[in-house]
Structure 1
Amino acid sequence: MGKILCFISQDFADFEITLTFHKLKNVGHKEVLSVSYDLNPVISESGLYYQPNATIREAMELEDVEGLIIPGGPIREQREELTALIQKLDQEQKLLAAICNGPQYLGRAGILHTRPFTTSCAVERIQKLGVEDPFPRHQCLEEQRVVQDGHVITAKGRAFVDFSFAVFDYLGIYEGAQHERDQLWNDIMDR
Structure 2
Amino acid sequence: MSNKKILEIVGDFVEDYEVMVPYQALEMVGHEVDAACPEKEAGDTVKTAVHDFRGDQTYLETRGHDFGVDVALEEIDPADYDALVVPGGRAPEYLRTYDSVIETVQHFFEEDKPVAALCHGPQILAAAGVLEDREITSYPAVRAEVEGAGCSWVDGTVRDGNLVTGQAWPDHPEWLAEFLDVLGTEVDHADPVAADD
Partners of 1:135 and 1:55 in 2: CA distance: 31
Aligned length: 170
* TM superposition shift of 1:123: 5.3
Q: Which structure 2 segments of 5+ residues have no match?
A: 51-63, 193-197
Code of the aligned partner of 1:56: L
Matching residue within 105, 113, 128 for 1:94: 113
* TM superposition shift of 1:57: 2.0
1:120 maps to 139
Partners of 1:17 and 1:166 in 2: CA distance: 17
1:43 maps to 47
* TM superposition shift of 1:119: 0.6
Partners of 1:121 and 1:9 in 2: CA distance: 21
Matching residue within 150, 167, 173 for 2:185: 173
- Is 1:69–1:96's contact at 8 Å kept on the other side of the alignment? yes
Q: Relative to structure 1, is the Cα distance of residues 92 and 137 closer, same or farther in structure 2, using a 3 angstrom cutoff?
A: closer
1:130 maps to none
2:71 maps to 54
Partners of 2:140 and 2:105 in 1: CA distance: 20
Partners of 1:8 and 1:15 in 2: CA distance: 12
Q: Which structure 1 segments of 5+ residues have no match?
A: 127-132, 185-191
Deviations 1:19-49 (A, max 9, x none): 433332122x111100010224210114211
Partners of 1:20 and 1:165 in 2: CA distance: 11
Code of the aligned partner of 1:54: V
2:10 maps to 8
Partners of 2:105 and 2:13 in 1: CA distance: 21
Q: Relative to structure 1, is the Cα distance of residues 151 and 105 closer, same or farther in structure 2, using a 3 angstrom cutoff?
A: same
Alignment of 1:139 with 2:151, yes or no, is: yes
Partners of 1:168 and 1:60 in 2: CA distance: 23
Q: Relative to structure 1, is the Cα distance of residues 164 and 18 closer, same or farther in structure 2, using a 3 angstrom cutoff?
A: farther
Q: Relative to structure 1, is the Cα distance of residues 113 and 52 closer, same or farther in structure 2, using a 3 angstrom cutoff?
A: same
**Other structure's SS at 1:15 match:** helix
* TM superposition shift of 1:138: 5.5
CA RMSD in angstroms comes to: 2.5
Partners of 2:10 and 2:23 in 1: CA distance: 13
2:93 maps to 76
Q: Which has the higher strand share?
A: 2
Partners of 2:147 and 2:127 in 1: CA distance: 7
Give identity over the alignment, percent: 24
Moved more, 112-121 or 17-26: 17-26
